[in-house]
Amino acid sequence: MSIIYRYITIQISKYFGIVLTFVIGIYIIVDFFEKIDDFMEAGLPFSKTIFFFILEIPFVIVQIIPICILLAVLIVFSLMTRHNEIMALRSSGVRIYYLFKPVVIIGCMLSGLLFFFSDVIVPITKAKSNQIWLREVRRESTVITEEKNIWVKGNRIITHIKYFNPKVKAIYGITLYQFDQRFQLIRRIDAKKGVFEQGKWLLYEIMEQNLDKELGNYDITFHDQQVEKFDFLPEDLNRVAKKSEEMTFKELSEYIKRVEAEGYDATNYRVDLYAKIAFPFICIIMCMVGTGIGARGKIKESMPVVIAFGIGMAFLYWIFYSFCLSLGYGEMLPPGIAAWTANLAFFCFGAVTLLNAE
């Protein structure tokens, strides 16, 4: 490794570590003061509270790595520009593309690290932190099985939902069990589909069984549709249903195959599947953007201006990326295109900035 490459690598690594530590600290402090009252009301020990916030760190790291590497590259090249180091190197025949090589290597390494964290570490830590928050702090009655089916326990009522589609507020494969005070099954409902409309759950293709206490038999009736009062709302299911970030790439892919094989719509999960691949590449793109802007020799402002510019660029990407994913969720764009559009747009922008810098 040449002296220039070693210098750039050390400087970027140093500022990346500083920015990453600072942002994680700010996030944890804000999140701590926002949720500490809930932990105190739930009566959880302080050690469990600290453990919860430790579990949140990998998810935070995945979200902020792109902005941290962008800020680090911007800071390093802006300082080199201010100290006329870029001018001296270019006067010696060094091209911007030569300086970009160690940066893109760092970006590739961070992309791999980001994919590893999001696919291996985050599903484990996020599932455990959600379990602590929902079951021990919020004391939600809903639980998640390993098969991604949803069980809801109410007042002497247990409801099983095979699949929940938050986009249309619909549930599929519903089975409701109602018990008396002696925990004897007195009513069972099986429905193919349920839709939340005007504040009520409307079930379709229903088979209802009611216990005849005198004869000890169950009377069976069939209905095309029927309004049923449940102890939960779509928001409750959306909050506790297993999220895509709690599943690895393989788990999510297998889950999509099972859902689609049963005839259900898995568009939301398919968009998230493509996003798991597309999002890590933003590290390389941010390195390209930071190098092109920082090394073009036109940024003479103070360091706060450089940092503000980097934050603005990251914020713009995140807004555009979320917007594209929303189009995918709404089936206005194919899942693959929705996940990659923002990367393609910012890759073109980064390429233009590098050409201008050169």
Give the whole-angstrom CA distance, residue 213 versus residue 191: 24
pLDDT of residue 324: 92
Continuous segment of H or E residues that includes residue 185: strand 185-197
Query: What 3-state class would DSSP assign to 329?
Result: helix
Per-residue pLDDT band for 308 (boundaries 50, 70, 90) equals confident
Write the pLDDT tens digit of every residue in 321-342: 999 999 998 888 999 999 999 9
Question: Is the Cα torsion angle 213, 215, 220, 221 positive or negative in sign?
Answer: negative
**Furthest C-alpha separation in the chain:** 99
Looking at per-residue confidence, does 125 or 299 come out higher?
125
Per-residue pLDDT band for 281 (boundaries 50, 70, 90) equals very high
Per-residue pLDDT band for 354 (boundaries 50, 70, 90) equals confident
Over 70: is that where the pLDDT of 221 sits? Answer: yes
Write the pLDDT tens digit of every residue in 112-125: 999 998 888 988 88
Mean pLDDT over the full length of the chain = 84
Query: What 3-state class would DSSP assign to 159?
Result: strand
Question: Residue 77 in contact with residue 291, Cβ under 8 Å?
Answer: yes
Q: DSSP state, 333? A: S
Write the pLDDT tens digit of every residue in 142-171: 444 444 567 777 778 888 888 887 777 888
Per-residue pLDDT band for 65 (boundaries 50, 70, 90) equals very high
Scanning the structure block, which residue is given the tokens 């070693």?
6
Q: How many residues does the chain have?
A: 358
pLDDT of residue 142: 47
Name the pTM for this structure: 0.73
- Nearest Cα neighbor of 294 from 358, 347, 357 is 357
Question: Residue 206 in contact with residue 190, Cβ under 8 Å?
Answer: yes
Structure token pair of residue 219: 């009377």
Over 60: is that where the pLDDT of 189 sits? Answer: yes
Angle at 255 between CA 51 and CA 53, to 5 degrees: 10
Write the pLDDT tens digit of every residue in 17-27: 999 999 999 99
- Cβ neighbours around 303 below 10 Å, total: 12
Mean pLDDT of 88-116: 84
